[in-house]
């Protein structure tokens, strides 16, 4: 046996030794030397192979020996870790970014400076001992790659040199909701997952996931906080857009294919796979009145149709694919009973031991990592804006992420005890938490047995070993530029956009129309310059047009009293109505039974006429805690188009089911899209190169929000609603084709 320690001095040194051996032990036919990448670690030569010296002791320890199984390596590593290192490993922190917590197109990761609220990444890695982070950086791809390499380099300098798992929310679609998705930037841009459900094309979804796997890995992202397997049975809910619609069986097929493409295997997470995290177990769709559990007044999930188990079906697709991670939702299940007759405890899913341990680990036999949703372990105080909303100027001037926490059902428990109950319920990783002190206190006090902690840490490390992160965590920034968003990827993405368009109405078989047949065109929601460059004859006034094309999106209600998620993910009203006719509903003004909190505060403190510098305040006269309807301007435009007597083509980006009952009869052509560029949309209506709508509705479209409120059941899909004839105008699966 020979052992030799060498130093790699290049930024990224790749070593491929196929068949390398020495005379003492020829194992060349048994093992294939993996690529090694490092900035600072020594390379040890042993038995004719090369290994990285993560703990800098000059030996090849079992956790450094890539010839062993992931489980064997993880056992050895966990045994070497201190309590503080274990607590740090169970945090899933957030990379500090120069442009703020959500970043901008030129943001950089911060490695120096920072603040107590947002410490720099060097502190998080070297002092707090974190080795998993979400990145919301949206800079140029080579910049993202360079910054991720820098973070991995700092991780190498830690005592055990544990590489970083770097995660991302979805970043390959149209809808950008800070904190839930990232702008696509240079990444390939696909129809939303609703559009994929509208096509029900398993192979397309698998190919999509394989492509984003390649793009993620190219920039150093190795964990995906998706797919979303929630079933969108409540159309008023603000997160419908990220789902596969309301049919649980469609969602199961889509979820399985998505995980398989991400993880580079049909049944497991393997080398060159991206660690998938399916969310939000046990189903985040049936939100009471369509509110959302990101904020206190929307924390309840309800089951008036006794349909709890329907919402578990899509997750089975993820389990069939060997998904590496599961994220529970914030929601507090109310009156939920599963198929066994068990009444589900009314506590947030992340704290629900029956669901996470008995059901997820036991019945579903899930062996991966349970990653909590973000900030579930944080403090949400009864006398602050977390539970009461922002109602005063003092509240509104706070950083909304400073008080954001969702420990529903555990609000009154102190932080250390809450952390302990979190782990006891079955959580392995604390989403969005970068301070391990509460967990460490529970470990050192003996409140949590170290055997339970070791189990969670092992699960986390097994996934890192399966991926090959200990061998090659770094990337080539130049190569990233050639991979991310390359032509063949975007061609496939464009095809998904065109195919997923759903034709809802085509009176007199108007479509398709060649550009010349459209005549003079008035456009809204499409850039006039782009439309002209496409070949349309664009006019400035409806009165001068032969055809009016309007592109808009599902309207909704933004609740400014609450955290950013109540603004960036509109809820409530589904139809286009005038601002004068819009009125808040009783449940939007009702006080919460636990305190006096409510969704909308029409009479809360008003913003002043001038800002602090004496300039006109952009929100002058508006209530801090106001609710704002977003569809009034679109309704006025649609009404004017109808009144003009011209041919009208209405295209709606359906981030939720849109209620068209008051306008559909008066419009000749209506299409639904789920993320479609102007180019792709115009290709479809003109049948350019044979493009045509293939999508079928992934959810039913109600006549109005009123009928949903009166007859709808939050946990039941439109096609199973007892009063579906009164609720649904366009049925699930509906979609016309060109003749």
Q: Catalytic site residues?
A: 247, 373
Residues 6+ apart with CB under 8 A from 424: 353, 448, 452
Largest separation between any pair of C-alpha atoms in the chain:
89
Q: Are 183 and 174 spatial neighbours (Cβ–Cβ below 8 Å)?
A: no
- For residue 573, the SS3 value is coil
Strands 49-52 and 42-46: antiparallel
Coil vs helix vs strand at 60:
coil
| DSSP result, 532-553 | HHHT-EE-SSGGG-SEEEEEEE
DSSP one-letter code for 124: I
DSSP 354: I
Q: Residue 446 carries which DSSP code?
A: T
Q: What are the DSSP calls for 245-312, one per residue? A: -S-HHHHHHHHHHHHHHHHTSSSS--TT--EEEEEEET----BGGG--TTSGGG-EEE-TT--GGGGG
**Burial of 541: CB neighbours in 10 Å, binned 0-12, 13-18, 19+:** exposed
Q: Is there a cis peptide before residue 227, judged by omega within 30 degrees of 0? A: yes
Q: How far apart are CA 59 and CA 4, in angstroms?
A: 9
> What does the buried/exposed string (b/e) look like for 191-226 if buried means 16 or more CB atoms within 10 Å of the residue's CB?
bbbbbbbbbbbbebbbbbbbbbbbbbbbbbbbbbbb
**Count of residues making up the chain:** 739
The tokens describing 307, both together, are 């349909």
Q: What are the φ and ψ backbone dihedral angles of 486, each rounded to 5 degrees?
A: -65, 165
Tell which residue, 384, 409, 432, 412, has the closest CA to residue 561.
384
* 286 touches 715 (CB < 8 A): yes
CB 52 within 8 A of CB 40: no
- What is each CA distance from 290 to 195, 287, 300, 464, 484, in whole angstroms? 21, 5, 10, 37, 36
Question: Which helix (DSSP H) or strand (DSSP E) does residue 133 occupy?
Answer: strand 132-134
Hey, what's the torsion of the CAs at 126, 141, 197, 284, to 10 degrees? 30
Residue owning tokens 């991780």: 155
Confirm if 235 and 716 have CB atoms less than 8 A apart: no
Rounded Cα distance between 221 and 242, Å, is 20
How many Å apart are CA 279 and CA 590, to the nearest integer?
30
Contacts of 51 (CB under 8 A, 6+ apart): 36, 43, 44, 45, 60, 64, 65, 66
Among 448, 410, 244, residue whose Cα is nearest residue 330: 410
Per the listing, tokens 């993620």 go with: 216
Helix (H, G, I), strand (E, B) or coil at 5: strand
**294 neighbors 566 (Cβ within 8 angstroms):** yes
């Amino acid at each position: 046996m020979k052992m030799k320690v060498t130093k790699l001095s290049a930024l990224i040194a790749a070593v491929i030794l196929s068949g390398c051996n020495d005379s003492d032990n020829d194992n060349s036919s048994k093992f294939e030397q993996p690529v090694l990448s490092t900035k600072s670690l020594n390379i040890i030569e042993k038995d004719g192979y090369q290994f990285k010296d993560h703990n800098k002791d000059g030996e090849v320890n079992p956790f450094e020996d890539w010839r062993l199984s992931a489980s064997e390596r993880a056992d050895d590593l966990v045994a070497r870790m201190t309590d503080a290192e274990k607590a740090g490993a169970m945090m899933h922190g957030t990379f500090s970014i120069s442009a703020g917590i959500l970043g901008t197109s030129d943001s950089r990761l911060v490695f120096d400076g920072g603040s107590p609220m947002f410490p720099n990444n060097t502190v998080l890695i070297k002092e707090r001992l974190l080795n998993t982070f979400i990145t919301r950086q949206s800079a140029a791809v080579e910049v993202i790659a360079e910054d991720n390499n820098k973070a991995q380099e700092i991780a190498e300098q830690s005592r055990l040199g544990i590489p970083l798992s770097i995660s991302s929310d979805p970043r390959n679609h149209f809808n950008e909701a800070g904190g839930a998705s990232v702008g696509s930037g240079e990444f390939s841009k696909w129809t939303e997952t609703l559009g994929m459900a509208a096509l029900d094309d398993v192979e397309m979804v698998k190919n999509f996931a394989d492509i984003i796997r390649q793009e993620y890995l190219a920039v150093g992202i190795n964990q995906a906080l998706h797919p979303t397997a929630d079933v969108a049975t409540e159309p008023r809910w603000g997160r419908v857009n990220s789902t596969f619609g309301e049919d649980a069986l469609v969602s199961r097929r889509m979820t399985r294919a998505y995980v398989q493409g991400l993880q580079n295997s049909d049944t497991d997470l393997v080398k060159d796979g991206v660690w998938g995290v399916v969310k939000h177990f046990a189903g985040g769709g049936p939100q009471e009145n369509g509110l959302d559990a990101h904020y206190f007044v929307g924390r309840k999930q309800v089951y008036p149709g006794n349909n709890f188990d329907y919402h578990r079906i899509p997750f089975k697709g993820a389990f069939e694919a060997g998904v590496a991670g599961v994220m529970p939702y914030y929601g507090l299940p109310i009156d939920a009973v599963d198929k066994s007759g068990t009444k589900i405890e009314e506590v947030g899913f992340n704290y629900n031991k029956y669901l996470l341990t008995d059901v997820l680990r036991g019945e579903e036999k899930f062996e991966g990592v349970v990653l909590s949703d973000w900030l579930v372990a944080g403090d949400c105080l009864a006398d602050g804006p977390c539970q009461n909303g922002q109602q005063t100027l003092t509240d509104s001037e706070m950083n909304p992420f400073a008080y954001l926490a969702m420990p529903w059902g555990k609000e009154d428990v102190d932080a250390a005890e809450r952390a302990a109950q979190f782990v006891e319920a079955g959580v392995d990783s604390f989403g969005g938490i970068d301070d391990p002190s509460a967990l460490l206190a529970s470990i050192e006090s003996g409140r949590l047995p170290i055997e339970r902690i070791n189990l969670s840490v092992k699960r986390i490390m097994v996934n890192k070993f399966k991926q090959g992160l200990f061998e090659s965590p770094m990337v080539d920034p130049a190569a990233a530029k050639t991979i991310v968003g390359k032509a063949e990827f975007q061609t496939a993405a464009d095809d998904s956009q065109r195919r997923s368009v759903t034709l809802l109405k085509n009176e007199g078989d108007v479509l398709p129309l060649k550009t010349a047949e459209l005549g003079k065109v008035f456009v809204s929601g499409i850039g006039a310059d782009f439309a002209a460059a496409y070949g349309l004859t664009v006019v400035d006034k409806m009165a001068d047009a032969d055809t009016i094309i309007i592109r808009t999106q599902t309207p909704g209600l933004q609740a400014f009293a609450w955290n950013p998620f109540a603004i960036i993910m509109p809820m409530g009203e589904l139809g286009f109505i005038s601002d004068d006719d819009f009125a808040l509903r009783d449940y939007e003004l009702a006080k919460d039974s636990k305190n006096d909190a409510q969704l909308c505060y029409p009479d809360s403190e008003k913003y002043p006429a001038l800002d602090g510098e004496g300039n006109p305040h952009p929100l002058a006269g508006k209530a801090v805690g106001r609710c704002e309807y977003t569809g009034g301007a679109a309704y006025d435009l649609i009404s004017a188009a109808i009144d003009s007597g011209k041919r009208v083509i209405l295209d709606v980006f359906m981030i939720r089911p849109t209620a068209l009952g008051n306008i559909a009869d008066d419009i000749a052509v209506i299409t639904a899209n789920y993320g479609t560029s102007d180019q792709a949309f115009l290709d479809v209506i003109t049948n350019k190169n044979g493009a045509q709508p293939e999508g079928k509705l992934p959810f039913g479209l109600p006549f109005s929000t009123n009928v949903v409120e009166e007859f709808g059941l939050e946990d039941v899909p439109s096609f199973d609603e007892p009063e579906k004839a009164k609720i649904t105008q366009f049925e699930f699966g509906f979609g016309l084709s060109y003749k």
